[in-house]
Amino acid sequence: MVPLDRHARPIDHVLRGAVDAPALIDRAGTMTYAEAGMTVAELAGWLRAQVAEPGARVATWLPKTRTACLMPLAAARAGLVHVPINPALKRAQVAHILSDSAAVLLLTQEARAATLEPSDVAGGVAVHVAAGTGEPLPPSDADPDALAAILYTSGSTGRPKGVMLSHANLWLGAVSVAHYLRVEPYDRVLGVLPLSFDYGQNQLFSTWIAGAAVAPLDYLTARDVVKAVERVGATTLAGVPPLWTQVLEADWPAETATRLRRLTNSGGALTPAIVRALRSRFPGADLYPMYGLTEAFRSTYLPPALVDEHPDSIGRAIPYAEVMVVRADGGAAVAGEAGELVHAGPLVAKGYWRDAERTALRFRPAPTFSREGGMAVWSGDTVVADADGLLRFVGRDDEMIKTSGNRVSPQEVEEAVTAGDEVREAVAIGVADARMGQRIVVVARGEAAAEAALRARLKRDLPTYMQPAEIMWRDELPRNANGKLDRARIAAEVRSATT
């Protein structure tokens, strides 16, 4: 088991397995730790030759290729800041991230590059459809507090915002997760989550810091997951609630199901029914419910021994994290009293990239009773702690739509819907859905006859997980006293009509 040690290192030092042990397993074969280390060194040399300015941003828009997996380490070794872009995004979202991050290089594939328009890379972004090799660079000696990555995540309003993560954030997150999950060198971690998410990226780092192997997988169906577990001998599978629903509906040979010894969940709460089903289907696997947000990485986890007795709990703080339940008056909430979940400690991110206003709203000094002190993340999430200190999630104060493990900004959907001529006004709402967590319903002011044209355009402009499941057409939308759209009333009417 990886020991706890708060001495952070540059993230490119994370490859700590035996030189001949497998680090990456994919359909092309196995890449050992020695091979992965050399590839990182040569990729870093190529990046250094392309980008001379220390701290410049370099982006990747790739599926889970070997290059995509190793790029976070290579960029760090070259003294650059990595900006991973979700491969599910379309050109409009990619263009925003490139512009907002002021990226100077984009590494992608030829088919993806062909979708970009000249204005999308007008800021002088050099687009490469393949990585080269350069003079190998030695491991970096970067300050652990230096910026290493910017991960883009949607806010409750507006376009995706970049969360700034330091080497220390990434390193200590890897140590923490590898420790409490008890990852061992013999483990095989099946990586099905997007590498642009902190949850997915940490699967790489926490696996490697434990000397184990990760098998990245871009899957289309749950059956692909079943086959991959058998093919690579996976012992660990991480997912979000919608994935578990699909996984449980798949046909699992008994011998394949018994290979899994560890299941981890984040991105939404597991229902007691899903917990029971996972227990039944994978009787030999420990189940780890977890909670977190990109701004503070992982926050809590529930030890497997407590899951059956507390199926609705998100647990206690992970190593290195301090989590507090804070009343509206700034005091510490007592057991059974609801309050805002506040995060402090070395896993707290460095703020939002070039967005001082939103940083000041979310990143504020820790409460006076904080053990760690310093800057804290005020989540906006309401929780309650029981007498044993176990936390239960109550609700989210913002209007984010959580669908299929993705956090979607209603405003971003609305902007896309109203970008054409089909709709005059629109409101996007998340409605509870057993399979997806929430499905997106759009209430639009316009003519229903325009729906086919609208959906054709949205299919081109938005990733699959942001597509409206339903569009409700109205002649008029209700407004409040200030003349603004009455979102609360619209949401209540939609949820009433769809339940």
Q: Where are the domains of the chain?
A: 11-393, 401-498
Please determine whether the domains at 11-393 and 401-498 fall in the same fold group of CATH: no
pLDDT at 252: 97
What pLDDT, on a 0 to 100 scale, did the predictor assign at position 480? Answer: 67
Residue 424: the pLDDT is 82
| β-strand pairing of 29-32 with 236-239 | unpaired
pLDDT digits (tens, 9 = 90+) for 84-131: 999 989 999 999 999 999 999 999 999 999 999 999 998 889 999 999
Share of the chain above pLDDT 90, in %: 81
State the amino acid at position 53 in one-letter form.
E
Mean pLDDT lowest for which of 48-57, 136-145, 391-400?
391-400
Please say whether the dihedral angle defined by the alpha carbons of residues 26, 27, 33 and 38, taken in this order, is positive or negative.
negative
What DSSP string runs through 75-105?
HHHTT-EEEE--TT--HHHHHHHHHHHT-SE
**Could you tell me which residue, 274 or 384, shows the higher pLDDT?**
384
CATH number for the domain running over 11-393: 3.40.50.12780
The residues with which 376 forms a beta bridge, in sequence order, are 364
Instruction: State yes or no: pLDDT of 484 exceeds 80.
Output: no
Instruction: Kindly state the average pLDDT of the residues 301-322.
Output: 94
Residue 398: pLDDT band with limits 50, 70, 90: low
Q: How confident is the model at residue 157 (pLDDT cuts 50, 70, 90)?
A: very low
Nearest CA-CA partner of 166 in 101, 81, 98: 81
pLDDT number for residue 397: 63
CB 9 within 8 A of CB 144: yes
401-498 homologous superfamily: ANL, C-terminal domain (3.30.300.30)
Task: Determine whether 499 is exposed, middle or buried from the number of CB atoms within 10 Å of its CB (0-12, 13-18, 19+).
Answer: exposed
485 bridge partner residues: 479
- Residue 496 has what pLDDT? 87
- Residue 442 in contact with residue 426, Cβ under 8 Å? yes
| pLDDT band with cut points at 50, 70 and 90 for residue 360 | very high
**pLDDT tier at 339 (50, 70, 90 boundaries)?**
very high
317: CB partners within 8 A, 6+ apart: 299, 300, 323
For residue 374, what pLDDT band results from cuts at 50, 70 and 90?
very high
Alpha-carbon span 488 to 442, nearest angstrom: 14
- Position with higher pLDDT, 205 vs 402: 205
Q: What is the pLDDT of residue 158?
A: 57
Reported confidence tier of residue 371, pLDDT bands at 50, 70, 90: very high
Q: Is the pLDDT of residue 179 over 60?
A: yes
Q: What is the pLDDT of residue 245?
A: 84
For the chain, the average pLDDT equals 93
Return the structure tokens found at 383. Answer: 């929780």
Residue 405 has a pLDDT of 87
The mean per-residue pLDDT over the stretch 471-498 comes to: 84
